[in-house]
A and B are shown apart, each in its own frame.
Chain A
Amino acid sequence: MYSQGLIGADGATHEDAAFLEAFQARIDAELKIEPNDPMPAGYRKTLVRQIAQHAHSEIVGMLPEGNWITRAPTLRRKAALLAKVQDEGGHGLYLYSAAETLGVSREELVDQLLSGKAKYSSIFNYPAITWADIGTIGWLVDGAAIMNQIPLCRCSFGPYARAMIRVCKEESFHQRQGYEIMLTLSRGSEEQKAMAQDALNRWWWPSLMMFGPHDADSTHSDQSMAWKIKRFTNDELRQKFIDATVPQAEFLGLTMPDPDMKWNEEKGGYDHGEIDWDEFWRVVKGDGICNRDRMKARRKAHDDNAWVREAALAYADKAAARETAVAAE
């Protein structure tokens, strides 16, 4: 692993005014910060938290869609879904590797997820209960993820920005695939149309919540913007997503589950109804319908297979010892 030498390395910095000023000047000049560059502890910590949350989201996000692989309606859909979920695992892998360049190991990060200390995107605590949910997750959830992630391709931290370029390309493919499922359903039978509308009704509001709290209530926003980890605020990104998505829903012939949604000529965007923030916080705090199931599934995969990882380590140790013995002969 290319980042191995960085794990646990002493990245401590003496953060006097001159250091912070010089760091900010590099950021303002749009220079990338690389793993071995000096950086404020807060910058490192923010990135570790954000990249790890992102990685965990990819991994937990495999569960709702993985739940449909064995039941996909056609072989073509089954292959596309399996490939998509595999891509998500791949994203998790690049992201854990990007986090490792900041000095923290994948094992530590996974432990934080399993102990409940680390968060992942709340959207994955909603259940994928019909096939239309697979289309809707691709269309809305991947669509919202892309909105969030395109600006991250210009994030000031090099490894994260570079990982995001590849991730975004794949997400955009997934988004189109999801939309194509929705298109097929909305041009299908009455029950398929109803299935599509029902899925939109259930996923729309949680998708809007993916952008996080209103700017006024967002704790990490200002500093992240100054450090150019974030480029747009939560509300700005949410508005972009709504404006891009409403015409797509119209094309599908579906109705937005928001009676207050209407075009505002003056601002050149859609107005929308108030998001249920109580629900948002309830799910973030662990009380959504699937939170417990998701964590149980992750812990079970980890615990039931501990013997496999132990075996791989024991074998690697034996093989290394054999090689040393041969070399010594």
Chain B
Amino acid sequence: MPDAKFKYVLRLADDQLILGQRLGEWCGHAPTLEEELALANIGLDLLGQARSLFTYAGEIEGKGRGEDELAFLRPEREYLNALLVEQPNGDFAVTIVRQFFHAAFMVPFWSAMAASSDETLSAIAAKSLKEVEYHLRHSSEWVIRLGDGTAESHRRTQDALEELWGYASELFEMDEVALEVQQSGIGVDAAALKPEWDATVNAVLERASLTRPADSWSQSGGRTGQHSEHLGHILSELQYMQRTYPGLSW
């Protein structure tokens, strides 16, 4: 059980870290000054969540690894984030749709996790829920604006939906690790969140006059460390300082 719980918390931490890292790439290059602030703000929220989760994962593991050892010093195959969050920023539509898929999942996820029998996770969930509710509002509003904006923005957003659709299903997977942690009263039944995610996505897409893509393909593997080629490049930046100057304080 400690091993499953460690992995479970690490998966959650990695999701927020990698998505936060992706949002950090936007800095200085966003469509408007207001979005510059919004994307940085969302990135900061995710980074804050990741920090609490890594610290807790380190405590569960009990080998003295702190947030930075876990965040920066694992090999690629030991990162357990979902494939969705490592997908490149693409154009603004891709970034927004990726965020929308993630936030539409995290809102019911944190809401359920708030009832966890684990006090730490329940506290992290209560704080994170407030943040992702804003992320969901922000990304939903943009999906609607872009979908119902110009012909070009509609086309780009529909393309983004198609491009990312197959990565959404991984969020709901319940493998042995997730099941074990859920059955002990600590984790969340992610599969049970699918109807709420569907309802959120359908409602927003309808308002945006966008078409829900067909469930014709899906990809997973991130939860067991089998990533796309993108993650290695993310890590080469993320880990650069810690790898170049091992063991120093910064």
A residues with a Cβ closer than 8 A to B are 59, 62-63, 66-67, 69-79, 82-83, 85-86, 89-90, 92-93, 96, 106, 131, 181, 184-185, 188-189, 191-192, 297, 300-301, 304-305, 307-312, 314-315, 318
Q: With A93-B37, A308-B92, A310-B153 in contact, is A301–B29 under 8 Å at CB?
A: yes
Write out the residue numbers on chain B whose beta carbons fall within 8 Å of the beta carbon of A188.
Answer: 248-250
Q: With A131-B241, A312-B145 in contact, is A78–B47 under 8 Å at CB?
A: yes
Q: Please, how many angstroms separate the alpha-carbon atoms of A320 and B33 in the complex?
A: 23
**Inter-subunit contact A71/B36 (CB<8 Å):** no
Please report whether the interface of chain A is mostly helix, strand, loop or mixed according to DSSP: helix
Q: Please, how many angstroms separate the alpha-carbon atoms of A70 and B68 in the complex?
A: 14
Q: A96's contact among B33, B54, B248, by CB below 8 Å, is which?
A: B33
**Inter-subunit contact A74/B25 (CB<8 Å):** no
**Inter-subunit contact B40/A82 (CB<8 Å):** yes
Which 10 residue pairs across A and B have the least CB separation, nearest first? A311-B149, A311-B153, A305-B31, A73-B241, A66-B27, A86-B40, A308-B31, A66-B28, A73-B250, A69-B24
Determine how close the nearest CB of chain A comes to the CB of B19; give it in whole angstroms. Answer: 13
Write out the residue numbers on chain A whose beta carbons fall within 8 Å of the beta carbon of B32.
Answer: 305, 308-309, 312
Q: Please, how many angstroms separate the alpha-carbon atoms of A92 and B34 in the complex?
A: 10
**Inter-subunit contact A75/B44 (CB<8 Å):** no
**Inter-subunit contact B44/A82 (CB<8 Å):** yes
Q: Please, how many angstroms separate the alpha-carbon atoms of A97 and B51 in the complex?
A: 35
Q: Please, how many angstroms separate the alpha-carbon atoms of A85 and B47 in the complex?
A: 15
Known pairs A66-B29, A74-B250, A301-B29 / 19 extra A-B pairs, C-beta < 8 Å: A59-B33, A62-B27, A69-B24, A71-B237, A71-B238, A72-B241, A74-B72, A75-B54, A75-B71, A82-B24, A83-B44, A106-B33, A131-B241, A188-B250, A192-B248, A300-B29, A305-B92, A308-B32, A311-B149
How many of chain B's residues touch chain A, expressed as a range? 35 or more
Write out the residue numbers on chain B whose beta carbons fall within 8 Å of the beta carbon of A74.
Answer: 68, 72, 250
B residues with a Cβ closer than 8 A to A are 17, 21, 24-25, 27-37, 40-41, 43-44, 47-48, 50-51, 54, 67-68, 71-72, 91-92, 144-146, 148-150, 152-153, 156, 234, 237-238, 240-242, 245, 248-250
Write out the residue numbers on chain A whose beta carbons fall within 8 Å of the beta carbon of B238.
Answer: 70-71
Q: Please, how many angstroms separate the alpha-carbon atoms of A86 and B157 in the complex?
A: 26
Determine how close the nearest CB of chain A comes to the CB of B186; give it in whole angstroms. Answer: 24
In the complex, which of the residues B40, B41, B92, B234 has the most CB atoms of chain A within 10 Å of its own CB atom?
B40
**Inter-subunit contact B149/A314 (CB<8 Å):** yes
**Inter-subunit contact A307/B152 (CB<8 Å):** yes
Q: With A90-B37, A310-B149 in contact, is A75–B51 under 8 Å at CB?
A: yes
Write out the residue numbers on chain B whose beta carbons fall within 8 Å of the beta carbon of A315.
Answer: 144-146, 148-149
Q: Please, how many angstroms separate the alpha-carbon atoms of A106 and B33 in the complex?
A: 10
**Inter-subunit contact B241/A71 (CB<8 Å):** yes
A-B contact pairs, 10 of them (CB 8 A): A62-B27, A70-B24, A70-B234, A79-B47, A89-B36, A308-B92, A310-B150, A310-B152, A311-B149, A311-B152
Determine how close the nearest CB of chain B comes to the CB of A197; give it in whole angstroms. Answer: 16
Q: Which residue of B lies closest to A67 (CB)?
A: B28
